[in-house]
Structure 1
Amino acid sequence: MTHIDDTILAGKHHIHFIGVGGSGMFPIVQILLSQGYAISGSDNNPGETLDAEQAMGVTVYMGQRPENLKGAELVVYSAAIMEDNPELVAARQMGVPVVERSEMLGLLTRHYSDCICVSGTHGKTTTTAMLTQILYGAGLDPTAVIGGKLPAIGGSGRAGSSSIMTCEACEFVDTFLHLAPDYAVILNVDADHLDYFGTLENIIKSFHKFAGMATKAILYNGDDPNTCKAVEGLDQPKTTFGWREDNDFYPANIVQKGGVKCGFDLMCRGENLGHIELNVPGRHNILNAVAAAAAALAVGATPAQIQEHLPQFRGAHRRFEVLGQVNGVTIADDYAHHPAELKVTLEAAKEMDFNRVWAVFQPFTYSRTALLLEDFAKILPIADRVVLSAIMGAREVNTYGIYAKDLADKIPGCVWFETFPEIARYVIQEAQPGDLVITLGCGDVYKCAHMMLGE
């Protein structure tokens, strides 16, 4: 994969962003602003991100028109922007250089000598957020790019002044191959995005390329066979984390403390580095915390700082986020959209002391629903009650002839509805005090959770 180089920024002052309100754009805007660039941008939808950017000094245009590019010397656009977007077309006609968001992020990662890129099919947002929480709390002043909002830093990213950068590294369409990791973290490798990769073997090959770009070390899940296969034959120094004691880092003496709380001893090659309190639910988050701790130690955090600051992490936005209660029913929301993610989220929910767990699931993309139909049908019944919405097709056309009813028919007692208001009415009518309702999916199913709360 070819990389753009620093010369594209040479002599530039004014950078324009198409789709500036996107969560993935926000940290890049922050970093470039901190480096002295003048930033403008356009978007079609108002929101908190645009408000924050305007407060920081970004010139924001609502709607996308060629005249918004006045004075721009470089244009950054997100992958969601269509080729016929009027600003993108105008930039190309005017000869203004255009760069896709992931390419610009890759360029910026090369500006930091301790860039930690956190990859994995599942858990990368949470782990990147945990790592950022530790480093920020410890005063190490990291730059951060996270796929979800972290309350401690007031959004999905920040511009720091140290050599450290934390960066979520997404494998979708190989975007993580644009990055320049000093430390490559691999949490797990699973079959996902098969519409792009085709096979699990191809996914493993991409993670192998990603890990091979690390300049200082590879930190990886020593318990996950696919991850171990991905790092085979690479010469970089390696550090493992996992459940087993033959990993470099692992948890011991795990204590469940009711609700979302748990604790464990952080072990490093047989040495106890201290007891860690966690305020997020699920065994998977214990392993995410171990990975975050290992990465934090690699760039200079101390065990005492990890003990102090990891408990401050109470989840990233849309990662088992408890939104409120209605009629004694707890409403939560989670981004889980792959069977493996649904499994750990629903198992975490079942470990908590609720009467019944309701899974309100929005399948995302026809290809994933069709290819993983049997897996979804096997995992969703971990919940006591399952409600489905229509499939969110996103970028796809339904060439698979797949519908929510096809999945509902495979799950005992499952019901499905076309619209969120129908789902919200049904669940609020049927759920009992002491139940947990969790909306699940990477689309817009969170709107359904807010409808249940009357918002």
Structure 2
Amino acid sequence: MNYFFTGIKGTGMAALAEILADQGNEVRGSDIEKYIFTEDGLKERGIEIYSFDPANIQPGDTVIAGLAFEDDHPELVQARAMDDVKVYRYNEFLGHLLESYNSICVAGCHGKSTTTGLLAHILSAWEPTGYLIGDGNGHMPADAKHFVLESCEFKRHFLAYHPDYALITNIELDHVDYYKDLDDYISAFQSFIRQTKKEAVIFGDDPWLPGLDYPIPYVKYGLNDGNDYQGVNLVQDEHGSTLSVLYKGEKIVDLILHESGLPFVWDSLGAFALAHQLGMPADQIAAQIDSFKGIARRSVIEEIGENVLVDDYAHHPTAIREMIRGMRHRYPDKKIVALYKPDRYSRLEYFLDGFADSLNEADASAVLDFDSNIHPENDSIKVTIQDLLDRLENGRLLEIDEVSAKQLQDLGPAVYIFMSSKNIYLLKNLLKKRLLEAE
């Protein structure tokens, strides 16, 4: 079949395009011309990327529309005007696709991408497994049995899915431009659970998940007593973490984790629990976790001399705080410089003090302003980047340019943690170039 993606560089869209190309379909798409890291996997597969233009839509195409695009987008208007063209929203199409596999949806406020990547890596060593990860990577073997899918709760998009299994990492209010309050947010996850067909695996240490209604069997994982899968004897150091796993009170395996911080411990326990529930032997799961190399834009570490560059997708105060703490465990004797670029005005305004508190856990911090094409979601939002800067104890405002890269270099040697769902990695690349030239 011929598929055309409107907004093909989006993280989920790129991953889905890769999956359909792997299945032998003809795949094309459109997006902005500016480089986005997700296009690398598309180009490796020879997928053509065009500028937006209604003329891109060809007779017989199946058009998949990114969720960021309204129905009045010229390509979508053109597609719907053509009798032999079908149009699906991204999540709508995925909802149909996952029905062909033993589907596993990974949901939660934090840790979705890493847990999806972990689970895909684990299961692929046991049985053929396809995956769609929110770092822009997707793959579908011809003989795939399982399909592991990152499932986003934004605007309840994940309610297009009716998975066989659900792995839910946590609940913490986010997407405040859509959800009215925490109760509204929790209700979305309750609905998602009711759509799960066979079993749920949930983070038992979460304050909200254990109290939801489960019409299907479920198991809990975490570090606290009372979990079906409990991590004990946790040790965190500059190498990562080690811990033992108890299943219903009996030790079944030891885990070696090469990433730092509690979130990766939690994510690893969740992926372990789901794979073990499917029947994969504990020692094989542990070996795959030991060999996991991470995913794109999630705690990606580069060491250059005495300096360390960390690229991460963190864009919520909790995720930023845990990233900083994880790097302190890994590099206890180094200065920590935390950098953050906001993505939504509503998120910055609602969590303003939380962002400041988290960034202030670093020895120094820097923030970048919103991209010029991002605007407040409504007229009541008045927050600016200066409001965050005013709350930082040792902060500065930077841009993506050589002047800012030089300022960062002068702060070193240090661990520089670049955190954002936006293009903060471009400043990291400028700093990397300077550090390499100085070697």
TM-score by length of 2: 0.91
Instruction: Check whether the contact 1:387–1:423 (CA below 8 A) recurs between aligned residues.
Output: no
Q: How many angstroms does 1:47 deviate by?
A: 6.6
* Counterpart AA for 2:313: Y
Write the distance in 2 (CA, Å) between the matches of 1:329 and 1:48.
23
Q: How many angstroms does 1:119 deviate by?
A: 0.6
Write the distance in 1 (CA, Å) between the matches of 2:8 and 2:398.
34
Matches within 5 A, 1:380-419: 380-392=359-371, 395-397=374-376, 399=379, 400-419=381-400
What secondary structure, in the 3-state scheme, does the structure 1 residue paired with 2:135 have? strand
Q: How many angstroms does 1:61 deviate by?
A: 4.6
1:337 and 2:325 equivalent?
no
* Counterpart AA for 1:107: H
Residue equivalent to 1:118 = 106
Q: CA RMSD in A?
A: 2.2
Write the distance in 1 (CA, Å) between the matches of 2:345 and 2:124.
40
What secondary structure, in the 3-state scheme, does the structure 1 residue paired with 2:298 have? coil
Instruction: Check whether the contact 2:18–2:138 (CA below 8 A) recurs between aligned residues.
Output: no
Residue equivalent to 1:77 = 65
Residue equivalent to 1:277 = 256
* Counterpart AA for 1:110: E
* Counterpart AA for 1:108: L
In the TM superposition, what whole-angstrom CA distance separates every residue of 1:226-258 from its partner, at most 9, and x where no partner exists?
2223x22x22001001111310001112233x4
Instruction: Check whether the contact 1:241–1:291 (CA below 8 A) recurs between aligned residues.
Output: yes
Write the distance in 2 (CA, Å) between the matches of 1:371 and 1:51.
34
* Counterpart AA for 1:437: Y
Matches within 5 A, 1:191-202: 191-202=173-184
Write the distance in 2 (CA, Å) between the matches of 1:48 and 1:373.
28
1:423 and 2:408 equivalent?
no
In the TM superposition, what whole-angstrom CA distance separates every residue of 1:32-91 from its partner, at most 9, and x where no partner exists?
345554333334436775564465464x25223333222334211112335443322211
In the TM superposition, what whole-angstrom CA distance separates every residue of 1:297-345 from its partner, at most 9, and x where no partner exists?
12232112112111111322111111342x6221111111101111111
1:312 and 2:294 equivalent?
no
Instruction: Check whether the contact 1:424–1:448 (CA below 8 A) recurs between aligned residues.
Output: yes
Write the distance in 2 (CA, Å) between the matches of 1:175 and 1:394.
24
For structure 1, list consecutive stretches of 5 or more residues without a partner in the other structure: 1-12, 150-154
Write the distance in 2 (CA, Å) between the matches of 1:271 and 1:383.
39
State how many pairs are aligned. Answer: 429
Write the distance in 1 (CA, Å) between the matches of 2:41 and 2:317.
35
**Alpha-carbon spacing, 1:437–1:33, altered in 2? closer, same or farther (3 Å):** closer
**Alpha-carbon spacing, 1:244–1:105, altered in 2? closer, same or farther (3 Å):** same
Residue equivalent to 1:355 = 334
Instruction: Check whether the contact 2:317–2:354 (CA below 8 A) recurs between aligned residues.
Output: yes
Matches within 5 A, 1:57-206: 58=47, 60-95=48-83, 96-112=85-101, 114-138=102-126, 140-148=127-135, 155-159=137-141, 161-206=143-188
Instruction: Check whether the contact 1:16–1:39 (CA below 8 A) recurs between aligned residues.
Output: yes
Write the distance in 2 (CA, Å) between the matches of 1:284 and 1:61.
35
Q: How many angstroms does 1:193 deviate by?
A: 0.5
**Alpha-carbon spacing, 1:147–1:49, altered in 2? closer, same or farther (3 Å):** closer
Instruction: Check whether the contact 1:189–1:227 (CA below 8 A) recurs between aligned residues.
Output: yes
* Counterpart AA for 1:146: I
Q: How many angstroms does 1:164 deviate by?
A: 0.9
In the TM superposition, what whole-angstrom CA distance separates every residue of 1:384-438 from its partner, at most 9, and x where no partner exists?
1111111347653374222222112122122223555443221111223xx2111
Write the distance in 1 (CA, Å) between the matches of 2:103 and 2:50.
34
Write the distance in 2 (CA, Å) between the matches of 1:394 and 1:125.
26
Residue equivalent to 1:239 = 219
Write the distance in 1 (CA, Å) between the matches of 2:115 and 2:40.
27
* Counterpart AA for 1:14: N
